[in-house]
Each structure stands twice: as C-alpha cells, then as structure tokens.
Amino acid sequence: FNTCIERLATMQVAILVLVAVAGSVTSHSIDMGSCPRIPPQPDFDLQRFMGTWYVIEVFGRQSKCFTLTFNQVTDQTLTVTEAKEFYLIDKLNMDYAHTNTGTLTIEDPAISARMRVRWPDNIAGSATFTIMDTDYDNYAIFAECQKLFLISRSNAAILSRNSTLDPAVIEQ
C-alpha cells in the first residue's frame, strides 16, 4: 500500500513539474517525442556569424520584436543576448528593452553550427541550437529544441542583419 502511495506522490510531483515547465515555455511549439536531428550549416564560419541579428520571422514563438547578439567568449563558448522591446511600453514612449543572455557551447568543433544553449531562466536545462542556413551578410535560419520528459519544445527563426528582409528571401 505504501508503495502505491509513493508512486502516486511521485507521479503528482512529475505532473506538477511538467505543468510548471510547460507554463514557462508557452512561447515554443510543444510536440510529443524527441527533438528532430536538424542538419547544420556546412562549413560554418563562426567569426562571420558574430554580431547582431534582427528576428524577422519566428515559428513556434509568440514574440518576434527582438534582436539576438552573438559574441565569442572562447573557441567553444559564445554568449547570445536576446533584447526585446515590448509593444505597450514602446507606445508609452518609454525607453525599455528586456535582455536575456544565454550561453552557447560548441560540443564538436567540426560541426560548429550545432550547439547547446543554456538560458538562465530555463529551469529545464539546455537545448540544441542549430544554425541551419546563413549567408552571413543578409540572413540566417536557426532552430532550437529541448527534450522534456515525453515531449519536446522547439522554435525556429529567420534572422537578418537589418531590421527588414526582402520577402523573396523569406519565401525561400
């Protein structure tokens, strides 16, 4: 009888954790199963990728009015700073941007476009972060995915070096 109660208590805790994590990830697409293995950009040039990118389109996420700035710390470590402006605060003519800085780690130098990202406000741990395509000067596409128990949460985005991007490039 005690074993059944212990299992029930463990299941309740697991469900509460899952609900808490799912509540904190509403800005991502939630799917059953593992993260897909996404092909990274071949011959990725990390140095050319560094700097600020504007988020043009976001898939699986609610907010798209922000930038991502990538800075190299060591050969295998980068920081990524997400800076968001909020629509209502902007309408009140208040100068405010929320920033969040994560750490990217290159696990295999031969595949430097595939990394792990750790955001400080993500209690569930790190996620895969894959640069899928870029020409370094105009656009980039990345995907992020995190495995959580029986589900995975993911998002992807089209980035640009400028605040706008030619619609023809987006359609590709």
| pLDDT of 86 above 80 | no
Q: Which CATH superfamily is domain 28-171 in?
A: Calycin beta-barrel core domain (2.40.128.20)
Domain ranges of the chain: 28-171
Which amino acid makes up residue 167? P
What's the average model confidence in pLDDT over 65-84?
Answer: 94
| pLDDT of 8 above 70 | no
What's the average model confidence in pLDDT over 48-67?
Answer: 84
Q: Which of 118, 120, 114, 82 is nearest to 103 (CA)?
A: 118
pLDDT 10s digits, 115-129? 999 999 888 899 999
Q: What's the pLDDT band for 11 if we cut at 50, 70, 90? A: very low
Six token digits for residue 113: 């476009």
Q: Is 127 helix (H, G, I), strand (E, B) or coil?
A: strand
List residues bridging with 100 in a β-sheet.
82
Six token digits for residue 149: 């128990």
